[in-house]
Structure 1
Amino acid sequence: MSLVSLAISNHRHHRRASISALHRHHPAVPGPPSPDRFPSSVHFPAAAGAQPHGPSRRSLRRCILGSGGRAFVQDAGATAAVLAGAYSLVFTFDTLTQRNLIQQSLSRKLVHILSGLLFMACWPIFSNSIEARYFASLVPLVNCLRLVINGLSLATDEGLVKSVTREGNPQELLRGPLYYVLILILCAIVYWRESPTGVISLAMMCGGDGIADIIGRRFGSQKLPYNHRKSWAGSISMFVCGFMISIGMLHYFSSLGYFRLDWTTTLWQVALISLVATVVESLPTKEVLDDNISVPLSSMLMAFWIFGW
């Protein structure tokens, strides 16, 4: 036997002897486990002070609760900030209208354009949690409740009525403006920021349709042959502005990594969607179907057919 083998054998013998002696004098201390008493699949707990190979259940639970808590705080703060911004926007244009610095019709359309686009532009400040879209939808939901309460004359908010209605009639709140916020809720919950379908639908409803009304009122002397309430200037501006705003918002969300697009084909696809939405908006169906329903739904169907999500 070599000197190395003899040293290893003596070390093992003295270690067993010391453990057995400790067990005889201190019965509470367990002796060395016998190999035949425990199956190989049983893992003994690590000694006190030893570092575990992975995170403990308590630390893992604390980590999960911590990340969930941070997401909740972020989403709640984002909701409060966007809601405050929405109220500030309406209050600003209401003040401008009362001081005769801007016409009521222009104020109403600017609120129509900016409120939806700014709401959509604020989506990235929400967290990546599943509940983030529902927090965001609380903003239009609060406005929806305001419209219903004032439209049913359960309360009176003259500033709200002047800002978003054509003739100052509270019952108008239950038509176009109510459809508007319902579409905002639909796109936020169903599509959110991971789909170009919702982005294009809101861009066409808010930007395209809103700008078409402003341009059509000022430069719309040449009316469409099949609808004398619409003009060539309004329809052309809706197509151009709706296309440009849609591309801008798509680039905004894609640059943040929410989806990827092949811009060579996306330009033609968005142009086709804008054309369909423009034709739908120009049809004489105002008395049957409001533009705040027909424009976003037609854009939604076309975008879903083209992009598939």
Structure 2
Amino acid sequence: VRFIFAAISISILLSMFLDKNMRKYDITNNEKKGKDIKRETYRDYFQISTGVITIAIFAFEGIKGRILILLAVLIIYLAGNILYLNNKNRIADIVYMMEREDTKLGLGSMYLAAGFLLVLSFTRSLPVIYISAFMIMIGDSLATIIGMKIRSRKLIYNKRKSIAGFMAMLLPSFLFGLFFFVYFYSAIYALGGTFAESISNKIADDNITIPISIVVLHLIIAMA
């Protein structure tokens, strides 16, 4: 099953990185991030609800929840393509309300799906899956919401990210991680994932940098 997750994740990422139009949309997506507070808020609240549902699926189904997540990704991907081709309807209007201006429909969702499937392809550990879902879908959204609404100093190494946004992701992620890890490991995952989010606009989408950082940390901890 993990090979299937890896194949789908890598296929999505390659198609997005190698396609010139997709790279152009990605640049636009990063430039527009945080500019429209109302649109970003809708988008982030939806992403938070997605994170809650994802965590609930694994809480009730255990590791078998991976299959439900895979089915959900395929269905959403299909629905997104249908809406992209037939965008003159009420459902498409609602979906576009949560997309950044001049950005391809579903771009963020594709990155999120690819990133989370990447995590699932590397681990069967439920605690790691839980912290991944929280940081990718909830912590990242909290960073954006708080970062937009609370004025604070910018990070020294990235002037597009704020200390308020950084802490809004770091602290909840650390506290959530305490349900599954000892203090040290919870702090490592929270700090690593939050740092990955804080440098995302310089490297790649945060839906990619966060899961990669968690996978790397998981592998290092597993070998320790």
Give TM-score, length-normalised by structure 2.
0.70
Separation of aligned partners in 1, 2:116 and 2:73? 7
Separation of aligned partners in 2, 1:224 and 1:279? 11
Question: In the TM superposition, what whole-angstrom CA distance separates every residue of 1:278-301 from its partner, at most 9, and x where no partner exists?
Answer: 222222x41540001001210121
* Pick aligned residue for 1:178 from 84, 87, 110: 110
Unaligned runs of 5+ in 2: 1-36
Separation of aligned partners in 1, 2:41 and 2:149? 11
1:108 aligns with 2:39: no
Q: Which has the larger helix fraction?
A: 2
Question: In the TM superposition, what whole-angstrom CA distance separates every residue of 1:170-224 from its partner, at most 9, and x where no partner exists?
Answer: 51522x22111223444456545x4322222222111221111111111133111
Partner letter of residue 196 of structure 1? P
Separation of aligned partners in 2, 1:226 and 1:202? 26
Q: Work out whether residues 45 and 141 of structure 2, in 8 Å CA contact, stay in contact via their aligned partners in 1.
A: yes
* Pick aligned residue for 1:278 from 194, 202, 205: 194
Separation of aligned partners in 2, 1:128 and 1:106? 31
Separation of aligned partners in 1, 2:116 and 2:62? 19
Unaligned runs of 5+ in 1: 1-101, 251-262
Question: In the TM superposition, what whole-angstrom CA distance separates every residue of 1:154-174 from its partner, at most 9, and x where no partner exists?
Answer: 1211211213x122x451522
- Give the aligned partner of residue 301 of structure 1: 216
Partner letter of residue 93 of structure 2? E
- Give the aligned partner of residue 56 of structure 2: 121
Separation of aligned partners in 2, 1:228 and 1:299? 24
1:223 aligns with 2:138: no
Q: Work out whether residues 143 and 181 of structure 1, in 8 Å CA contact, stay in contact via their aligned partners in 2.
A: no
Q: Secondary structure at the match of 1:104?
A: helix
Question: In the TM superposition, what whole-angstrom CA distance separates every residue of 1:12-35 from its partner, at most 9, and x where no partner exists?
Answer: xxxxxxxxxxxxxxxxxxxxxxxx
CA drift of 1:235 comes to 0.7
Separation of aligned partners in 1, 2:38 and 2:149? 13
CA RMSD of aligned residues (A): 2.7
CA drift of 1:143 comes to 1.3
Higher relative contact order (CA 8 A, sep 6+): 2
* Matched-pair identity in %: 28
Q: Work out whether residues 132 and 214 of structure 2, in 8 Å CA contact, stay in contact via their aligned partners in 1.
A: yes
The 5 Å alignment of 1:151-162 reads 153-156=84-87, 157-162=92-97
- Give the aligned partner of residue 207 of structure 1: 138
CA drift of 1:271 comes to 0.3
Q: Secondary structure at the match of 1:126?
A: helix
